[in-house]
Amino acid sequence: MKKINIGIVGYGVVGSSVVKILDKDREIITQKSGLDINVKKVYTRNWNRKLFYPIDDSKKAKTVDEIINDKDIDIVVEVAGGIEFPYHLITQAIKNRKNIVTANKALLAEKGKDIFSLAQKYDVRIGFEAAVAGGIPIIKALREGLVANDISKIYGILNGTTNYILTSMYTEGKSFEQALKEAQEKGYAEADPTLDINGTDAAHKISILASLSFGGFVDFSQVYVEGIDKIDTLDIELGRELGYTLKLLAIAKSHGEEVEIRVNPTFLPSWHPLSKVDGVFNAVMVEGNNVGETMFYGRGAGGLPTASAVISDIVCIGKSIANNLGRDLEITSMDWKHKDLTLTKVKDFYTRYYVRFTVPDITGILAKIASVFAKYNISIAAVIQKEKILKLQKETKEKVVPLVILTHTASENNIQLAIKEIVSNKYSVENPVIIRVEDEE
Amino acid sequence: MKKINIGIVGYGVVGSSVVKILDKDREIITQKSGLDINVKKVYTRNWNRKLFYPIDDSKKAKTVDEIINDKDIDIVVEVAGGIEFPYHLITQAIKNRKNIVTANKALLAEKGKDIFSLAQKYDVRIGFEAAVAGGIPIIKALREGLVANDISKIYGILNGTTNYILTSMYTEGKSFEQALKEAQEKGYAEADPTLDINGTDAAHKISILASLSFGGFVDFSQVYVEGIDKIDTLDIELGRELGYTLKLLAIAKSHGEEVEIRVNPTFLPSWHPLSKVDGVFNAVMVEGNNVGETMFYGRGAGGLPTASAVISDIVCIGKSIANNLGRDLEITSMDWKHKDLTLTKVKDFYTRYYVRFTVPDITGILAKIASVFAKYNISIAAVIQKEKILKLQKETKEKVVPLVILTHTASENNIQLAIKEIVSNKYSVENPVIIRVEDEE
Ligand SMILES: NC(=O)c1ccc[n+]([C@@H]2O[C@H](COP(=O)([O-])OP(=O)(O)OC[C@H]3O[C@@H](n4cnc5c(N)ncnc54)[C@H](OP(=O)(O)O)[C@@H]3O)[C@@H](O)[C@H]2O)c1
Ligand SMILES: NC(=O)c1ccc[n+]([C@@H]2O[C@H](COP(=O)([O-])OP(=O)(O)OC[C@H]3O[C@@H](n4cnc5c(N)ncnc54)[C@H](OP(=O)(O)O)[C@@H]3O)[C@@H](O)[C@H]2O)c1
C-alpha cells in the first residue's frame, strides 16, 4: 500500500478535524482508498494555545518551511486562512512540486489565476473541494460527474451564517441584530462576521463555481455583492405574503459570451427547493443541458464536514501520486475555455424585482408610481398596499405606508431610472428597498 | 490528445442519447476532459426499427462480437438491459480486457459479485454511475467525495415512475390505476411497469448503494421489497392528516454487524426534505459520521440525464486508459470490507408503523386493540378514528370505519404478532393496512 505523506499548515477548526478523522477513521479510509495517509508534519502560528485535538510533539513544525521544503511530503494542506500568508506558502510549495489541498475560498477567488497557472507550470494538482459548500462534494460533481453538460446556471445558498440568520428572522420574526447575536452565541457566526454578512464569502464561492462551470477565471473585483445587514423584518413579512422566502443567493448564469455573477438577498417562491434549505445548511443547484436540474445539499461548514472534503481531495490526489502522475488525471480545469470570463454589467441584469416604497397615505400615489414604471417599460405583476402598518413620517408627521410592487422581468437599468424618478418626484418619502426575485414567469 | 474508442451495445433510449451528446457537445466534453471520445461501433438487435438518433452505417455492428473482440475498443458501454445477454457480453468483454460502463442496475444487483470479481481479476474498471439515480452523480459522491465517512444510513427516492404516481395520488387524489395510466400516457411508465411498481427497480439500486456504503456484496434475493400497487388513496389522505407524505423509499441502514435493506411505501413527515421530492425526480440522502446529512437531487431517468452519467464514467475511465492504468485509480470497491453483507431479517426491523384497521363502529374496540398493542409492548403515538368515512361490511352489512394507529418505534415481530391476534379476535374485519413510517421520536 502506498504511503502518502501530508503536511498541514494551520491547526484550527479544520486542520485539527483533518487530523482527528485520519486518526479515528483510519481503517475505513485505508480500506476504501487503498492509501496509507500519514500526517508527517503540522505547522501553526502558536503551539501554546489550546488545541482542539492533541498532536504528537514530534509532528509539530516550528516554521512553515519545515513543511514546504520536506522532500517526503507529497501534499501540502493549507487550512490557515487569510490571503498573503497562504499565497506565499502555496506558491513556494508548488515550486517545490508539492500538490496542494486548500479550503481557502478567499485565496482562490482572489488569486486563483496565479495559483492555478503556477500549478499547471509545475505539473501539480490543487484540490479545493472544501473551499465551497463544506462537506458537499459539489466541486467533484461539477468537474467530473457533470462533465458531459453545458451548464447554463449554477446558484445556491453558500453561506451558513447568513442562512441561519435569515431563517431565524423568517421563522421567529427576529430582527437582523437579534438573529446575528444568537448565531454568534451558538457558534454559527464568527466574532467578526463581516465577510459572511456582507456577502463576500458567498461571492468567493460562487466565483470558483462559475470558473469551473463556464471555463474561465473571474476578476473578483467585478463581482456584484450585496449582503444582508440592511434587511428589515418588514420585507421578510411582506415577501411571505407574496409567497416568497428571503435567502442570500449566490448566482452565476451564462448569457452566451457573458456570465452574470452576483450575490444578493433574493426572494424565492415557496415551491423552490432552495426556499426550504434552512439554518446552517448549504445547497447548490446546477442546471445542465443534458442532466437538467440537480441539487446538492448538506453542511457547508464546521470542522468535520469541511475536513471530510479535505480528505477526499487528499485521497484523489494521493491516487495520482501513487501512480507517479502529475496533473494527468485532472478533468475540467478552472479555465477550460482558455479565456477569462466576461462579466455582465450590473445595469444589464435582467430579473424580477420586489420594490418597497414608503408612500404618503393618499389616493393616487399608486397610479403615479405605476405610470413611471410603465414609462420605463416595467410591467407590474403584483401590488401590496397596507393600511395597517402605518407609521408617521419623521419630519412632516404625515402618515406613510409601505407600498410593495412586484415586477415581471425587467432590466436593472430601467428599474434604477424609474426609482430615481419616483424618489425625485417625492412619491416615495424614503429610498425604496429593492430585492431581486428569482421566479418563473 | 488521447483518443478513447468506445463500443456501445444497445441503441435505445440511453444508447442513442450517449451518441447524441457525444456529437452535439463534443467540443465542451473534449475541452473539459482532454480526451477525444470516439464511438467506434454500436450494436443493437434490430437496425431496421426507427432510431432515436441517426448513426453512420459504417459504425453499425452486426454482432456483439464485433465490439467485444475489437482490439481498438477500450470501453464497452452496455445499455441494452436485461440480465442474460448483458451478463454474457460483459464477462466476455472483461476477459478481453475491456473496461465496462453500464446503466444496468438489475444486472449489477443480481450478478454484481461475479462481474466485479472478474473485473478485479482482469484488472479492468466497471463504471455504473448511470445505474442509480440517472444523472445524479451519487456513485461518485459515495466512492470519492464522501470517502472519509463511515456511512450509517443511505436512503432515497430511486424510482421516478412510482414517485410520479404517488405524487399524483397525493396532489390530485387520483387512484393508483388512474395515476399509472396517466404516467404511461406521459411516457413516465413503461408499457410493462412491473419492475418499477413492485419495487424491484428501487431495490436493485439500493442494493448497489448499500454495497458501496457498507463494503460488501448483497444477496439480492434476501432484500425486502414491497411495491405501491396496493396503495389506497384513503391511506394517503389519512397520512396527510397526520402530517405525512407517502413515498416509495429505498433504505439501507447499518446496524453494526448487520445491514437493513428494504424498499417499501413509507410515510415521511412533511419537514423531511424527501417529502418534497415530487414527480419523476429522484433524491438520495446519505448520513456520514463526519459530513452529517447530505442530499443529492435530480432526474433519475430519461435518455439525456442517464447518458450524462454514462459519459462521466467514460471520461473517468478514459483517463485511466490514457495513462495506461488498470484499476489503480479506483476508490471504494463494492466489497471494500472484503466480506458479504449480512442482512437484517424482516422480523428484526425496528421502526414506526401506521396501521389502519377496519373496525365495527362500536364503542370499546379501540380499547381492545390498544390492549393487544400494549401486550406486545407497542406504544401508541396517535390515533385517528373517523366517523365520517363509513362503509358497510360486505357480508354482515354492519357499519365499519377506519381506525388508524400510529406507533412509536416497535419491532416488526411484535407488530405482526399483535396484528395476528387482533385479526383472529375479529377486532378488525379486514386485514389491516401496514405502512412503515420514517420519523424521529
Ligand atoms: N471552519 C469552517 O467551517 C470552514 C469551512 C470551509 C472552509 N474553511 C476555510 O478553512 C480555512 C481554515 O479555517 P478554520 O475555521 O480552521 O480557521 P481557524 O480555526 O482560525 O484555524 C486557522 C489556523 O491557522 C493558523 N494560522 C492562521 N494564519 C496563520 C499564519 N499566518 N501562520 C501560521 N498559522 C496561521 C491559526 O493560528 P492561530 O490559532 O494562532 O490564529 C489557526 O491555528 C480558512 O481558509 C477557512 O475559510 C473553514
Ligand atoms: N431509460 C432510462 O431512463 C434509464 C435510466 C437508467 C438506466 N437505464 C438502463 O439502461 C439500459 C437501457 O435502457 P433503455 O431505456 O435505453 O432501453 P431501450 O430503449 O429498450 O433500449 C435498449 C436497446 O438495447 C437493445 N437490446 C436489448 N436487448 C438486446 C439483445 N439481447 N441483443 C441486442 N440488442 C438488445 C434494444 O433493441 P430492441 O430495440 O430491438 O429491443 C434497444 O435498442 C437498461 O439496463 C436500463 O435499466 C435506463
In the predicted structure, residue A393 carries a pLDDT above the cut 90: no
Give Cβ neighbours of residue A421 (< 8 Å, ≥ 6 apart). A372, A375, A376
Q: How far apart are CA B200 and CA B196, in angstroms?
A: 6
Residue that has been written with the C-alpha cell 502529475 in this structure:
A326
Is the CB of residue B312 less than 8 Å away from at least one CB of chain A?
A: yes
Closest CA relative to residue A104, chosen from A137, A73, A126, A136: A126
B340, with CB counted inside 10 A (0-12, 13-18, 19+), is middle
User: Does any CB of chain B come closer than 8 Å to the CB of residue A328?
Assistant: yes
Q: Which CATH code of 3.40.50.800, 3.40.640.10, 3.30.360.10, 1.20.210.10 fits the domain covering B138-299?
A: 3.30.360.10
| B residues 240-259 lying closer than 8 A (beta carbon) to A | none
Sequence ranges of the binding site of B for NADP(+): 9-16
Q: How far, in Å, CA of B37 to CA of B240, rounded?
A: 50
Looking at chain A, the domain(s) classified CATH 3.30.360.10 span 138-299
> Which cell numbers hold the place of B338?
472484503
- Residue A417 host element (H or E): helix A412-424
Both ends of chain B: CA-CA distance in Å? 57
Q: In angstroms, what separates the C-alpha of B319 from chain A's closest C-alpha?
A: 6
Contacts (Cβ under 8 Å, ≥6 apart) of B226? B199, B262, B263, B264, B265
For A305, name the nearest residue in chain B, comparing CA atoms only: B291
pLDDT of residue B420: 97
pLDDT at residue A397 greater than cutoff 70:
no
- In the set B98, B113, B140, B205, the catalytic residue is B205
Residue B97: per-residue pLDDT? 98
Q: Which of residues 274 through 303 in chain A touch B, CB cutoff 8 A? A: 276, 288-299, 302
Cα separation, A406 vs A316, in Å, equals: 48
Residues B223, B253: Cα–Cα separation, whole Å: 13
Q: Where are the beta strands (DSSP E) in A202-280?
A: 224-225, 244-255, 258-269
B37, burial (CB in 10 Å: exposed 0-12, middle 13-18, buried 19+): buried
SS3 A359: strand
Nearest partner of B296 among B283, B280, B278, judged by Cα:
B283
Question: Which residues of A are documented as binding site for NADPH?
Answer: 105
Any idea what DSSP says for residue B187?
A: T
Task: Give CA–CA dist A76/A68, Å, rounded.
Answer: 7
DSSP-H helix ranges across A187-302: 194-197, 200-214, 233-241
User: Cell numbers at residue B9, please?
Assistant: 451495445
Stretch(es) of chain A classified as CATH 3.40.50.720: 2-134+303-322
Beta-carbon contacts of residue B268 (< 8 Å; ≥ 6 apart): B244, B245, B246, B247, B249, B274, B275, B437, B438, B439
Q: How many CB pairs under 8 A join A and B?
A: 202
Ligand 1 probe mutation, A14, A47, A64, A84, most atoms within 8 A of CB: A14
CA A191 / ligand 1 centre spacing (Å): 14
Q: Does B337 touch chain A (CB under 8 A)?
A: yes
Cross-chain Cβ contact B288/A308 below 8 Å: yes
- Please check the confidence at residue A373 and state whether its pLDDT lies above 70: yes
Most confident of A159-163, A364-368, B185-189: A159-163
Mean pLDDT, rounded, for A117-134: 98
Q: Is the CB of B85 under 6 A from ligand 2?
A: yes
pLDDT at res. B202: 98
Ranges of CATH 3.30.70.260 domains, chain B: 347-437
Q: Which cell numbers hold the place of B15? A: 444508447
CA distance A379 to A405: 10
The CA–CA distances, whole Å, from A246 to A144, A250, A315, B202, B245 equal 32, 13, 38, 36, 26
**For residue A320, pLDDT beyond 90:** yes
In sequence order, the 6+-apart residues with CB closer than 8 A to the CB of A270 are A243, A244, A245
State yes or no: pLDDT of A176 exceeds 70.
Answer: yes
Chain segment A27-65, per-residue pLDDT in tens? 999 999 999 999 999 999 999 999 999 999 999 999 999
Closest ligand 2 atom to B15 CA: 16
Phi, psi of B41 (to 5 degrees): -145, 150
Is B205 one of the annotated active-site residues of the chain? yes
Tens digit of pLDDT per residue, chain B (441 long)?
999 999 999 999 999 999 999 999 999 999 999 999 999 999 999 999 999 999 999 999 999 999 999 999 999 999 999 999 999 999 999 999 999 999 999 999 999 999 999 999 999 999 999 999 999 999 999 999 999 999 999 999 999 999 999 999 999 999 999 999 999 999 898 889 999 999 999 999 999 999 999 999 999 999 999 999 999 999 999 999 999 999 999 999 999 999 999 999 999 999 999 999 999 999 999 999 999 999 999 999 999 999 999 999 999 999 999 999 999 999 999 999 999 999 999 999 999 999 999 998 777 899 999 999 999 999 999 999 876 555 666 666 678 889 999 999 999 999 999 999 999 999 998 999 999 999 988
Query: CA angle, B307 as apex, B301 and B313 as ends, to 5°?
Result: 115
Strand order in the sheet with B2-9: B60-61, B35-43, B2-9, B75-78, B99-102, B126-127
Pocket test for ligand 1, best of A13, A83, A126, A299 (most atoms within 8 A of CB): A13
C-alpha–C-alpha distance, residues B278 and B160, integer Å: 9
Q: What is the ipTM of this complex?
A: 0.96
Q: Grid coordinates in use for B258?
A: 448487520
Indicate which of A140, A147, A254 best probes the interface with B, i.e. most B CBs within 10 Å of its own CB.
A147
What dotted CATH number matches A2-134+303-322? 3.40.50.720
pLDDT digits (tens, 9 = 90+) for A232-287: 999 999 999 999 999 999 999 999 999 999 999 999 999 999 999 999 999 999 99
C-alpha distances in Å from residue B315, one per residue of A290, A319, A328, B320, B321:
16, 17, 13, 9, 10
A217: confidence class by pLDDT, cuts 50, 70, 90? very high
- pLDDT at position A348 is 96
Mean pLDDT for chain A overall: 95
Mention the CATH class of domain B347-437.
Answer: alpha beta
Which ligand is nearest to the Cα of residue B17, counting in written order?
2
Which residues of A does the annotation place in the binding site for L-homoserine?
Answer: 190
Tell me how far the alpha carbon of residue B90 lies from the centroid of ligand 2, in angstroms.
Answer: 15
